[in-house]
Amino acid sequence: MTPNRQLTAGQVADLVRGRLVGRSDVEIAGVASLERAGPGDLSFLVSSRYLPYLERSNAGAVLITSRFGNVATGPKTFIVVDDPYTALARVLTEMHPPPAPIWGVHPTAVIGRGVCWQGRISIGPSALLGPRVELGEGCEISPFAVVETGAQLGDQCRIGSHAIVCGGTHLGNRVTLKPGARVGTPGFAFASQGSAGHLHVSHVGGCYVEDDVEIGANSTVDRGSIGDTVIGAGTKIDNLVQVAHNVRIGERCLIMAQVGLAGSTIIEDDVMIAGQAGLAGHLAVGRAAKIAAQAGVIGDVAAGSTVSGYPARPHRDVLRQAAALKRLARITPYLERIVETQR
C-alpha cells in the first residue's frame, strides 16, 4: 500500500530515537521485508535467522538492534534501535496513519431512546444503538454494528462492522472489536431434565472488557452466568476465539486464533495462549504461563511454565516422550519377547 507520508532515513531515526549509521537523506517511500525491499524501502532485521538476507537486500535503510551492530557498516544505511519491531510499528503508524473517522451519525443508523455520548462520534451506515446505550468520547461504530440496550462504552472504542455488543457489557477505553465479534452473548448452560431435555439457565452476569483490549474477527465472548466475564486491560484476542461465561482473563495476555476457553477458567496476567489451544473449565493459569498451539489443558498451569499436548504437560516432557515413543516403537516386538521369556 502506498504510504500517505514519506520520510527520510534521518526522520525515521528521529522518530524511533535510533542511531543513524549512513546517509540521513535516503528517502523512504515504503516498508518491506529484506528480500522484497528496494532502494526506496525501509526494512528490518529482527532475528539472526534473517542475517543472510541482509547482505543481498536492496533496502534503502534497515532497522537493526545493536546486537547485530557489527553488520552496521559498509554501503548500506542502518538505524540502530533497541527493538526493531517496535520501531517498525512506529514507522508504519507514521507513514500510514489510519484514515480519520467520518464524524457524525449516518442517516441510516438507528439510535434508540436515551442513548448518550460525549464529544464527537462516528456512527456508520445502518449501525444500531439500542435504548440507553452510553458511549465515551470519539467512539467509532462501524456499519451494521449493534450495541444493545444499556451497554456502556468508554472513550475511543472502535466497534467493527457487524460486531455486536450485547446488553450487560461494559467496554473500557480504546477497546477494539473487529468485524463480526460477538461480545456479551448469553452463555451455554443448561440444567438437565433427563428425557425432558435441557432447561436453559438465564445469564444475568456482566461482561467487562477493560482498556486497550482487542477482540478478533468472529470471536465470541459470553457474558457471565451469575458472576462476570472479565478481559483484563491490554489483552489482545485474535480471530475465531471462544471465551465462555465467567472466564477471567488478566492483563496483557495474548490469545491466538481459534483458542477456546471453557467456563469460569481464570487466566492471570501476561499469559500467552497459542492457536487452537483449548482450556477446560474451572482451571487456573498462572502469570506469564505459555500454552502451546493445540494444547489441551485439563488441569491448572503453574505461573511461568510452558505446556503443550493433550493432556497438556510441560513442553519439555512432551518432546521427550515423543522422542522416546519413536525409539520404543522400533523395538516393541523385542521388548514383548523379552517380557514373555522372563515372565
User: Are the beta carbons of 176 and 157 closer than 8 angstroms?
Assistant: yes
Segment near its own copies (CB under 8 A); pick from 10-18, 59-67, 69-77, 142-150 = 142-150
233 scored as a contact of its own copies (CB under 8 A): yes
262 scored as a contact of its own copies (CB under 8 A): yes
From candidates 8, 11, 58, 126, binder to its own copies by CB under 8 A? 126
Residues that contact its own copies, how many (by CB under 8 A): 109
Instruction: Measure the CA–CA gap between 33 and 129, rounded to whole angstroms.
Output: 42
The residue type of 171 is L
Closest by CA to 29, choosing from 18, 21, 37, is: 37
111 burial via Cβ count (<10 Å: 0-12, 13-18, 19+):
middle
335 scored as a contact of its own copies (CB under 8 A): yes
Element of type H or E holding 109: none
Instruction: Measure the CA–CA gap between 22 and 79, rounded to whole angstroms.
Output: 8
Mapped onto helix, strand or coil, the DSSP state of residue 177 is strand
From candidates 18, 60, 101, 168, binder to its own copies by CB under 8 A? 168
DSSP code per residue over 211-225? TT-EE-TT-EEEPPS
The residues pairing with 284 across neighbouring beta strands, listed in sequence order, are 266
In terms of CB distance, is 74 or 338 closer to its own copies? 338
- In the window 269-328, what residues touch its own copies (CB under 8 A)? 275-276, 278, 280, 293-294, 296, 298, 308-311, 317, 320-328
Segment near its own copies (CB under 8 A); pick from 10-18, 58-66, 113-121, 186-194 = 186-194
From candidates 76, 182, 248, 290, binder to its own copies by CB under 8 A? 182
Instruction: Measure the CA–CA gap between 94 and 258, rounded to whole angstroms.
Output: 31
In terms of CB distance, is 204 or 302 closer to its own copies? 204
342 scored as a contact of its own copies (CB under 8 A): yes
In terms of CB distance, is 306 or 308 closer to its own copies? 308
- In the window 21-50, what residues touch its own copies (CB under 8 A)? 31-33, 36
Residue 183 C-alpha cell reads as 461480545
Active site amino acids: 245
The residues pairing with 276 across neighbouring beta strands, listed in sequence order, are none
In the complex, least distance from residue 123 CB atom to its own copies, rounded to whole angstroms: 13
164 scored as a contact of its own copies (CB under 8 A): yes
The residues pairing with 221 across neighbouring beta strands, listed in sequence order, are 183, 243
In the complex, least distance from residue 233 CB atom to its own copies, rounded to whole angstroms: 8
From candidates 38, 104, 190, 299, binder to its own copies by CB under 8 A? 190
Segment near its own copies (CB under 8 A); pick from 17-25, 69-77, 132-140, 228-236 = 228-236
From candidates 143, 266, 303, 314, binder to its own copies by CB under 8 A? 143
User: Are the beta carbons of 323 and 305 closer than 8 angstroms?
Assistant: no
205 scored as a contact of its own copies (CB under 8 A): yes
List Cα–Cα distances, 271 to 175, 178, 340, in angstroms: 19, 22, 48
In terms of CB distance, is 8 or 50 closer to its own copies? 50
Instruction: Measure the CA–CA gap between 180 and 177, rounded to whole angstroms.
Output: 8
